A and B are shown apart, each in its own frame.
Chain A
Amino acid sequence: MRSRGLTPAAGYAAVSRWIAALGLAALLAADLHVTSLHPWADLQRLLGGLVRPDFLAVEAASILYTVAFAVLGVGLGAGAGFLLAIPFARFRSVRIACALLRAVHELFWALLLMQVFGLSATTGILAIALPYAGICAKVYAEIIEEADLAALRALPAGTGTVSAFAYARLPEVAGAIRAYTFYRLECGLRSTLVLGFIGLPTMGFYLESAFRQGRYGEAGAWLLAFYALIGTRRLWVRGWTLPLLAAGSVLVLPATVGAVEIGASLARFLGHDIVPAPLRGAALLAPESWPATGAALWAWFRPILTGQILPGAVQTLVLAQIALVATAVGALLLFPLTSRRFTGPLGRPLGRVLLVTLRSTPEYMLAYVALQLLGPSMLPAILALSIHNAGIIGYLLGRHADGLSYRPDAPRGLNLYAYETVPRLYGQFLAYLLYRWEIILRESAIFGILGVATLGFYVDAAIAELRLDVAAVLILATALLAIAVDALSRALRRSLRIADLPVRLAGPHARPAPEPLTA
């Protein structure tokens, strides 16, 4: 029916076409270039290392640190996110603050926090907690927004706000929030890898060192240990283990070597380092100096805008758009591998292993291997981002596919895939994809080795040059881009009526979620 605007089905097709078309357009603008190389010597050693992992090199302590940082970071982030979720829908300022928190890559959070807290457990925990607070606030808010209001309407008049929330709203959403938080913990484990980049002793520290120096036997062992940690997450993260995990995490946190004057560092960071250079020491209270200061500020800002923000935003959008389309194709191909209907009870565990491998392999590794194979261009970044993200979306879709109920006479194989499962999952799939947009935007920050000048590339440069004021401006620009993309994806999801997505972000649900596309 084309009564008014788009029917959902037509909407899905239209949006998919738009995404694909934009992806193709981006492909034309992208700088893709394959160099013929001789990477085999290095890659042979890499494969050899993966085949013959050196498990003696794996230090148990760092596995504990990894879990501790993830549990505490995600716990703190989820807690703060929950509190932020309540005013999220009502206040634009909260939404913008959350987008800012989300837009900064964990690596940059860690580097910025390190200015104040030094190389310490606090830095590590906050580097995960801050972006996760932003992410959780958004998702929790959407879960709350979409929850059934029937219980609320049945409350007697005069029920207090707190009671109403605790008795009528919270029970509705607790299941979904719990499932999502547990899934987030897996993401947290992946995020801790990045903390190793600045020197916190997580598994990422040793993995990156071994990988970087070509000790591939060790790198292989660390990687396999990490896969095992992620793959067994559902065995050891449960309702009743959480208190134990949290308490244990606090106990095992690594001690800080040396001391930092936190007060002085914070004052210097806020009062000097991130203040735009022309404003430092300027007489801001004297109105007669404003024109001169304003001119100096513009002279400072203009080259950043024209030389970094605008070209960086273009490159970032091009990269993200292509990676998004590649992710979409990859996810649609991969998800049947973890679905019982398609692979059966024997094939599914294998499919799971494959997807755990894909989504847990750090992007910088994928990018390095792709760089060795293809030479420096946007291509390795696209490959790394899309393999990683296709692994994630494929996993989530596969779990959702298993939750679908089919008629007894449902078709099988390709017919089932093409005519029933994919159409029924498609709204979900689009929603996941729109979510990943933002993530891909952020992740593009760590591909400096490829010389692809995304916004993250310039942030990296500004931090290396200790120009934290420039870094702050660039991060702000990234956040604005993320906010714009987020608003777009929100509007799209609204018009497609797939806004009930987050309830189903992470698998098992108390009750079957309504299907947008069963008609």
Chain B
Amino acid sequence: MRAWFRGFAVLAAVWSLVGAATAQTAPREPARPFVFTGIPDQDESRLVERFGRVAAYLEGKLGVPVRYIPVKNYPAAVTAFTNGQVQLAWFGGFTGVQARKAVPGSQAIAQGAEDAAFKTYFIANAATGLARAADFPKVIAGKTFTFGSRASTSGRLMPEHFIRQAFPGKTPEEVFARVGFSGDHSRTIQLVQSGAFEVGAVDYTVWDLDTKAGKVDPKTVSVIWESPAYPDYQWTVRGDLDAVYGTGFTERLKAALVGITDPAILEPFGRSKFIPVTSEAYVPLIEVGRSTGLLD
């Protein structure tokens, strides 16, 4: 028992050390690394691959150390941006809107060429007998339905918007027998494929990438509807970049992103190239966010 008390005393001493050690988590160095993150919208090995390459590329172009921090859910990505831990983020349309609302002065600077007109696929298990149609498939009412992550644009916000349009005055919970949130697009495909959910909403680029990777069994799951186009993913930066890294840094960053031509970087994104964009391009999403009640 005495050993226990001694241990306790040492432990107490160590706690104070922890306090001291963790208190200085914000070291002030001259060459502050430029840190970025991205929303974890799909298979993580693909995220590490794509963002690792972006980090190496940006470091070469910008002349400052560039680090990527992986996060595991959407609000964590937005939080890392709002509290200033990251200066740049690859956001979805909706998370970008959330982040720019929370951080005055931040702005969207570039998007993928495909993001100007992004799409959601509604996918269904073969057992439902649903076939592909051009019009919104109202027959999905009463089925079980899974979104992706709660804060996903292509997996939640826009599909919810289209569902509310097709069934005026009803929430998805009222339209479907059950509504789940799979967490990410790859998971949505898995769950609909196994039949755990009958219908799901998925990012079309992830569907294409997973199909190409052989993870999709066309006999058990297929696309039943393609949504109208809307703006989605973009690179968003904080407004204080130039003050920290020198005048013109934001412009150089934008030029570097738009200048990516290496297919080794673009291919894991499922994008052909990046193009300049402004925050105004995402104003329609703010409207949709308000009308679905996801945004104040």
Contact = CB atoms under 8 A, between A and B. Distances in A.
Interface of A: 33, 35-39, 41-42, 72, 75-76, 79, 111, 114-122, 125, 171, 174-175, 178, 196-199, 205, 208-209, 212-215, 239-240, 242-243, 246-247, 250, 253, 256-262, 264-265, 277, 371-372, 375-377, 448-451, 453, 460-461, 463-467
Interface string B61-89: 00000010111111110111011111100
9 contacts: A75-B14, A114-B80, A120-B22, A197-B72, A239-B4, A258-B86, A259-B84, A448-B183, A466-B102
Contacts of B75: 111, 463-464, 466
B18 to A, nearest CB: 6
Given A118-B80, A199-B71, A377-B178, A464 B151 contact: yes
What is the interface of chain B mostly: helix, strand, loop, or mixed? mixed
B130 to A, nearest CB: 16
Nearest to A209: B44
A247 B14 contact: yes
Nearest to A261: B84
B229 interface: no
Contacts of B197: 375-376
A146 B7 CA distance: 24
B67 A257 contact: yes
B18 A214 contact: no
Contacts of A215: 45
Contacts of B193: 42
Given A214-B190, A247-B10, 15 more contacts: A114-B80, A212-B187, A215-B45, A243-B14, A257-B35, A258-B80, A258-B84, A259-B85, A261-B26, A371-B196, A451-B179, A460-B150, A463-B75, A465-B98, A465-B294
What is the interface of chain A mostly: helix, strand, loop, or mixed? helix
Interface residues of B, number: 73
A35 B72 contact: no
Contact of A371 (B5, B71, B73, B191): B191
A239 B3 contact: yes
Interface in B1-30: 1, 3-7, 10-12, 14-15, 17-18, 21-22, 25-28
Given A197-B72, A258-B33, A243 B10 contact: yes
Contacts of A171: 1
B273 to A, nearest CB: 27
B83 A208 contact: no
A114 B83 CA distance: 8
Given A261-B83, A376-B196, A466-B75, A250 B14 contact: yes
**The 5 nearest A-B residue pairs measured at CB:** A464-B150, A258-B35, A451-B180, A243-B10, A37-B195
B196 A111 contact: no
Contacts of A199: 69-72, 76
Given A37-B195, A375-B195, A121 B25 contact: yes
B261 interface: no
Contacts of A114: 76, 79-80, 83
B144 interface: yes
Given A39-B195, A174-B1, A253-B21, A119 B80 contact: yes
A122 B25 contact: yes
A198 B267 CA distance: 26
Contacts of A178: 1, 4
A212 B184 contact: yes
B269 to A, nearest CB: 17
A246 B72 contact: no
Contacts of A39: 194-196
Contacts of A372: 191, 194, 196
A250 B21 contact: yes
Contacts of A197: 72-73
Contacts of B184: 212
Given A199-B72, A377-B178, A212 B1 contact: no
Contact of B44 (A213, A265, A448, A464): A213
A23 B73 CA distance: 34
B196 to A, nearest CB: 5
A449 B183 contact: yes
Contacts of A450: 180
Contacts of B17: 250
A38 B195 contact: yes
B291 interface: no
B32 interface: yes
B57 interface: no
B14 to A, nearest CB: 4
